[in-house]
Structure 1
């Protein structure tokens, strides 16, 4: 398997990909940034032990950082409803997103030869982590429907070309993992021949 193949189904509920050292480093760096970014929004002064235990946050307004706001969006257009919903769900959503990125980081760190072998649950965690990384990069790059045109006019030595390339590569990687998951689901739904 080469680094250009992305994720492939590997038996029942197993998905494998091979990454070059440079690809591992890029992925590690990005998932660590997501972990750190999400940690910036934690509650530091929740005095109510019950609220802390059940995950009710003291945050009732959206994050000021554009990337965090994209990762932890408003659920409703109405500000009152959105604030109330945020108080009850943001902590859990933030923890889930951090957990996905941590799963990705653990697999990358523990793979000495660049082979990543995921079970079904870890594959879903990777999908979530890759999606969050792409959302974050998309906000920083101000990705819109005409972003490909913007990429085409960038000078060959413009540092943003590399960031756009990573963004595109992550989309392809996510698609390969999703295709492997769908292929596995399709094979399970096929009737067995007797």
Structure 2
């Protein structure tokens, strides 16, 4: 990876320059998140008002483990969690998809690999990069594996590349957060 990460540029601008391969990786991950978060079809909903305001009949967590990580239960109590999910999952899916779509748009339209974000877009990128890291973290099983175990993955292990991208995304996220907090 060759990027220097995000730097504050003026009072409300955050700029990063990405190499072509970095842009391709980020675009690919954004597209995967967009596809993964595609709305579940709600066949059981008969109330048009509930559908219009985003209340769904879905009250169970997603079966896909990555999607479940992106849309976790809000409460330990299953009844409370199910009710909360009915009222919030659709909005949360839309917000996360919007973050990934914004990232994709900025990357696709980046001239010479330069991405220039305003404050709101930078916050959307933080959310989008975080979702990418959560998804990759599930694939890497970071809750069960130590960083030492992941560092020792064999060069030919397919997860080695995933781990490298996971670490790079963490570095990118940390740099963007630092740029957002930079008051100079």
Partner of residue 190, structure 1: none
State the Cα distance separating 1:145 from its structure 2 match. Answer: 6.8
Runs ≥4 residues deviating over 2 A? 40-47, 144-147
CA RMSD of aligned residues (A): 1.6
Counterparts of 1:40 and 1:55, CA distance in 2 = 11
Note the 1:43-192 alignment, pairs <5 A. Answer: 43=42, 46-144=45-143, 146-183=145-182, 186-187=183-184
Contact in 2 for aligned 1:3/1:17 (Cα 8 Å): no
Contact in 2 for aligned 1:42/1:91 (Cα 8 Å): no
Counterparts of 2:33 and 2:63, CA distance in 1 = 16
TM-score, normalised to structure 2, is 0.95
Question: In structure 1, the residue corresponding to 2:73 is in which secondary structure?
Answer: coil
Change (3 A) 1:44 1:134: farther
Higher helix share: 1
Contact in 1 for aligned 2:34/2:97 (Cα 8 Å): yes
TM-score, normalised to structure 1, is 0.90
Partner of residue 191, structure 1: none
State the Cα distance separating 1:3 from its structure 2 match. Answer: 3.8
Q: For structure 2, list consecutive stretches of 5 or more residues without a partner in the other structure.
A: none
Contact in 1 for aligned 2:30/2:104 (Cα 8 Å): yes
State the Cα distance separating 1:4 from its structure 2 match. Answer: 3.2
Change (3 A) 1:171 1:42: farther
Contact in 1 for aligned 2:39/2:93 (Cα 8 Å): no
Counterparts of 2:13 and 2:138, CA distance in 1 = 32
Question: In structure 2, the residue corresponding to 1:39 is in which secondary structure?
Answer: coil
Tell me which structure has the larger Cα radius of gyration. Answer: 1
Q: For structure 1, list consecutive stretches of 5 or more residues without a partner in the other structure.
A: 188-194
Question: In structure 2, the residue corresponding to 1:56 is in which secondary structure?
Answer: coil
Question: In structure 2, the residue corresponding to 1:135 is in which secondary structure?
Answer: helix
State the Cα distance separating 1:58 from its structure 2 match. Answer: 1.4
